[in-house]
Structure 1
Amino acid sequence: MATITQTEIKHPDLHLDALDNLWFQVSGTLCNIACNHCFISCSPTNHSYEIMSLEQVKRYLDESIEMGVKEYYFTGGEPFINKELPEILELTLTYGPATVLSNGMLITEKRAKRLQKIEV
Structure 2
Amino acid sequence: MTPNSCASPAFPWKLWLYTNYDCNLRCSYCVAKSSPNTPRRMLGLANAKRLVSEAVELGFSEVFFTGGEPFILNDIYEMLRFSSALVQTTVLTNAMLLRNARLDQVCEIANENLILQVSLDGGNAEEHDHYRGRGSWEKTVEGIRLLQERGFRVRLSTTETPVNTHRLEQVCAFHRSLGIPDEDHFVRPLAKRGYSKEGLELSAANLIPEVTANIDGIFWHPLSTDLDMQVSRSLFPLADSVQRIQDQLEVIAQTGESALTAFT
TM-score by length of 2: 0.37
Find out whether 1:90 has 2:100 as its counterpart. no
Match of 1:36 in 2: 28
How do residues 39-118 of structure 1 correspond to structure 2 at under 5 angstroms? Answer: 39-47=31-39, 50-118=41-109
Give the superposition deviation at 1:67.
2.2
Opposite residue 23 of structure 1, the aligned amino acid is W
Question: What are the superposed Cα offsets for residues 78-109 of structure 1, whole Å, 9 maximum, x if unpaired?
Answer: 11111101111100011111111111111122
Question: What are the superposed Cα offsets for residues 35-87 of structure 1, whole Å, 9 maximum, x if unpaired?
Answer: 1011121111122x611221110110121023211111111011111110111
User: Hey, which bits of structure 1, 4+ residues long, moved more than 4 A?
Assistant: 16-19
Runs of 5+ in structure 1 lacking a partner? 1-13
Output the CA distance in 1 between the equivalents of 2:17 and 2:55. 12
Match of 1:21 in 2: 14
1:45–1:119 Cα change, 3 Å: closer
Opposite residue 80 of structure 2, the aligned amino acid is L
1:80–1:119 Cα change, 3 Å: closer
Give the superposition deviation at 1:19.
5.8
Question: What are the superposed Cα offsets for residues 9-36 of structure 1, whole Å, 9 maximum, x if unpaired?
Answer: xxxxx72587621111112x21111110
Percent identity (aligned): 31
Output the CA distance in 2 between the equivalents of 1:22 and 1:118. 20
Q: Which is greater in Rg?
A: 1
Output the CA distance in 2 between the equivalents of 1:107 and 1:58. 23
Is the CA contact (8 Å cut-off) linking 1:90 and 1:118 kept in structure 2?
A: yes
Is the CA contact (8 Å cut-off) linking 2:32 and 2:67 kept in structure 1?
A: no
Output the CA distance in 2 between the equivalents of 1:99 and 1:30. 19
Output the CA distance in 1 between the equivalents of 2:12 and 2:54. 11
Give the superposition deviation at 1:113.
1.4
Output the CA distance in 2 between the equivalents of 1:71 and 1:100. 11
Output the CA distance in 2 between the equivalents of 1:117 and 1:31. 23
How many equivalent residue pairs?
105
Opposite residue 30 of structure 2, the aligned amino acid is C
Runs of 5+ in structure 2 lacking a partner? 1-5, 112-264
Opposite residue 34 of structure 1, the aligned amino acid is R
Output the CA distance in 2 between the equivalents of 1:31 and 1:75. 11
C-alpha RMSD of matched pairs (Å): 2.0
Output the CA distance in 2 between the equivalents of 1:71 and 1:116. 20
Aligned residue for 1:101, secondary structure, equals strand
